[in-house]
Structure 1
């Protein structure tokens, strides 16, 4: 970067990753902290690439009618970009517009990366649904990871950097976590967690006893710093979405149904229903798998297997006629090997839970090449004020 020059940009559309797209002298510019329809003064931060540059908005010249005061002052555009807190990149956008922009990204990914035709996308008609909680999306995180700089100051990283931004509030976190926010801490990271009716701060090496979360009338035991959905409404929302996505006409309770990347058994329990559905949940983390076995112990037809999903599928190459395969892979997606193995088992339907639209689209494209098509797709705004979303798709054999 030769210099941090500033340019005026007319913002055209949204892109994956929480940035918008503008053009300058025929070159694409990915610009942060703006939204389509605005004209902004932006500072070029990366001009090393021939095809695109990156920039940060530093002043809004012509605001969109969908721009609102940022829900987190520490992340607002009136701060210098290097001092803006990361993790709330859509916080300046009206909630309904946030969801419509996420829909645009999802639809674009399905076509450009997943290879779905415009007619197929139109038939799916995917929407990003609001979920229970505050309309502005604040107080929607029960787990927050903060970082500690060399002087002990605590805060998130600035966007797209490893620079710690000390903050005095955490409006996206539930109130109990904001009250725990320290000015200084030791170590390199600090997790703030609200779980099991308690709230605590812990470093990555701190030992904490397991906690218990409740979803409806069911209790789920998990490690205090283990994986659990961040939004307070997410476990119930996703459980209902999985039950709605699985076609009951194709869900054979006696088939060899699978829950892959199963964690502590949340979605396996959703698939199992009242316990009459046979389901095996597969999880590589030892503690989570042990908790899954305990959490599902009252469901006589459920079992938990500790294994890497790819290894489990490679070792167990049986066909599963009539089965429902549920998977909730990490943000990077399942990948071609896992997708191929699932397809080879010949299930009746596949229910795919995704937290990244590009990874979802990539895997759907792989499934399509193996003879599968998405029959339904719904998305949920479980990460308000960010570009993230959660989606649930059902796939069936094509033709």
Structure 2
């Protein structure tokens, strides 16, 4: 239900596990933004990744990861000595670093840019994307096909606040049995009594008033179309079914509930149904359990529009075309591609997760031009080689990787629409495509995760002529 994750520039050096200086405070000048939700500062030659600052500020920071042998340290801002004009009051007390540390504990994660004006947030994200493309993508400069802007999404619904957009939310449970969230890079769970980034439908569940003893993790999906929400309960080891049922019974009557195993993905219905019905681009989609779906209420329509604009505009998507949707999930792009190619065309839809692939079969059973295959993308493409007009590529946060990119290039499609939620993995994949003789012909970036460091990109890749 949340964005898919991967390693980033935040990786620590091997052997630097000791935190000899954790808890110490320093005064630093905040330098440029870096990928991962922090800015770069320096102290006595040491690089410090600082969260909750803005480039150009002078701040006092508290070291959170600071081993003597570490290549770099990490820190949170605890006091702002010289503020940026783009600094604003944080909208969420639990995520406000200066306030939280003033009460003796770290802030919760998930809103690390909440102290920055939305306009500056988007400029910072644009800087990160451009830097990743230059450094990892091998472009040497910003791509000609990009305006340089990260586009706002959902302003008509949120009034320009960047709040209330999450239709999915993940929570942990504090030792007291209260709903909580983790501090960044920490096992500490801090109780919460609101989630301002979530939709009203999620906050209206009042999960913080429920005794969650015996539950380790809670996942919530509240579709933007207003259909029935689903609460997934991951029990702690040793929790008995009777306790799980008691928690489910404490939920509002119009909410579905299911048990959930985060490792296997197995879902056990407790009440109502074990899936939600989502809507986007004129289609309805069944999404079971924690199956992947974009978490911003306006993201599905926005991304579908960007993908189809690129493919239609280049003449790659038309009646009779042969296309593929790779890492297809429940079929968001597949359904729209099927509409575009019609019954004279063909769509290959590939998804690795068995449960999500079953959802796709249900969602697309009435589209005879669609072939749904469950399996790894590289294996399926080897087994089903075709002359594709276009491919849609929407990989996990780790990206497609060199082997898959090489295989896609060898399939010789006329174009690839690449949807990415991570600038670093996207830039690396762009470099692999460049090595294979492809170019970045178009690029758009979207702020579908306001008040966080995340962004989404949609790119058009074409072979060099």
Higher deviation after alignment, 154-163 or 80-89: 80-89
Which of 228, 232, 244 lines up with 1:202 in the alignment?
232
| Residues in 2 aligned to 1:342 and 1:267: alpha-carbon distance in whole angstroms | 18
Cα deviation digits, residues 231-250 of structure 1 (max 9, x gap) = 11011111111111214423
| Residues in 1 aligned to 2:87 and 2:233: alpha-carbon distance in whole angstroms | 37
| Residues in 1 aligned to 2:230 and 2:354: alpha-carbon distance in whole angstroms | 24
Give the deviation of 1:175 after TM superposition: 1.3
3-state secondary structure, aligned to 1:110: helix
Contact 1:90 1:98 in 2 (8 A): yes
3-state secondary structure, aligned to 1:188: strand
Cα deviation digits, residues 319-352 of structure 1 (max 9, x gap) = 52x5201110001111111111101101100110
Match of 1:107 in 2: 130
| Residues in 1 aligned to 2:45 and 2:202: alpha-carbon distance in whole angstroms | 46
| Residues in 2 aligned to 1:161 and 1:121: alpha-carbon distance in whole angstroms | 37
| Residues in 2 aligned to 1:10 and 1:251: alpha-carbon distance in whole angstroms | 50
| Residues in 1 aligned to 2:221 and 2:315: alpha-carbon distance in whole angstroms | 40
Match of 1:160 in 2: 185
Match of 2:77 in 1: 57
| Residues in 1 aligned to 2:350 and 2:386: alpha-carbon distance in whole angstroms | 17
Which of 129, 144, 148 lines up with 2:169 in the alignment?
144
Flag the 1:369–1:319 CA change in 2: closer, same or farther, 3 A: farther
Cα deviation digits, residues 48-78 of structure 1 (max 9, x gap) = 3454221111101111111111121111122
Which of 78, 99, 111 lines up with 1:78 in the alignment?
99
Contact 1:250 1:349 in 2 (8 A): yes
Contact 2:172 2:180 in 1 (8 A): yes
Which structure 2 residue ranges, 5 or more long, are not aligned? 1-18, 235-259, 261-267
Equivalent residue pairs, number? 396
Match of 2:20 in 1: 2
| Residues in 1 aligned to 2:295 and 2:112: alpha-carbon distance in whole angstroms | 17
Contact 1:147 1:190 in 2 (8 A): yes
3-state secondary structure, aligned to 1:237: helix
Which of 322, 329, 334 lines up with 2:400 in the alignment?
334
Give the deviation of 1:107 after TM superposition: 0.4
Which of 208, 211, 217 lines up with 1:182 in the alignment?
208
Contact 1:319 1:344 in 2 (8 A): no
Match of 2:60 in 1: 41
- 1:368 maps onto 2:430 in alignment: no
Match of 1:391 in 2: 457
Give the deviation of 1:225 after TM superposition: 2.9
Contact 1:242 1:271 in 2 (8 A): no
| Residues in 2 aligned to 1:275 and 1:313: alpha-carbon distance in whole angstroms | 20
Flag the 1:291–1:275 CA change in 2: closer, same or farther, 3 A: farther
- 1:234 maps onto 2:299 in alignment: yes
| Residues in 1 aligned to 2:161 and 2:72: alpha-carbon distance in whole angstroms | 33
Contact 2:170 2:218 in 1 (8 A): yes
Give the deviation of 1:275 after TM superposition: 4.7
Which of 207, 210, 221 lines up with 1:193 in the alignment?
221
| Residues in 2 aligned to 1:233 and 1:39: alpha-carbon distance in whole angstroms | 37
Cα root mean square deviation, aligned: 1.8
Which of 36, 42, 50 lines up with 1:31 in the alignment?
50
3-state secondary structure, aligned to 1:90: coil
Give the deviation of 1:293 after TM superposition: 2.3
- 1:295 maps onto 2:363 in alignment: yes
Flag the 1:190–1:139 CA change in 2: closer, same or farther, 3 A: same
Which of 262, 277, 284 lines up with 2:352 in the alignment?
284
Higher deviation after alignment, 380-389 or 18-27: 18-27
Give the deviation of 1:251 after TM superposition: 3.1
Give the deviation of 1:222 after TM superposition: 1.8
Contact 2:145 2:443 in 1 (8 A): no
Give the deviation of 1:35 after TM superposition: 1.1
Match of 1:223 in 2: 288
Cα deviation digits, residues 360-388 of structure 1 (max 9, x gap) = 00111111111111100101111111011
| Residues in 2 aligned to 1:202 and 1:307: alpha-carbon distance in whole angstroms | 25
Contact 2:417 2:458 in 1 (8 A): yes
Higher deviation after alignment, 250-259 or 368-377: 250-259
Give the deviation of 1:227 after TM superposition: 1.4
- 1:91 maps onto 2:156 in alignment: no
Higher deviation after alignment, 300-309 or 167-176: 300-309
Task: Give the TM-score normalised by structure 2.
Answer: 0.81
Give the deviation of 1:309 after TM superposition: 1.1
Give the deviation of 1:298 after TM superposition: 3.3
Cα deviation digits, residues 7-39 of structure 1 (max 9, x gap) = 111111111111011121222211011111211
3-state secondary structure, aligned to 1:86: coil
| Residues in 1 aligned to 2:334 and 2:347: alpha-carbon distance in whole angstroms | 7
Match of 1:380 in 2: 446
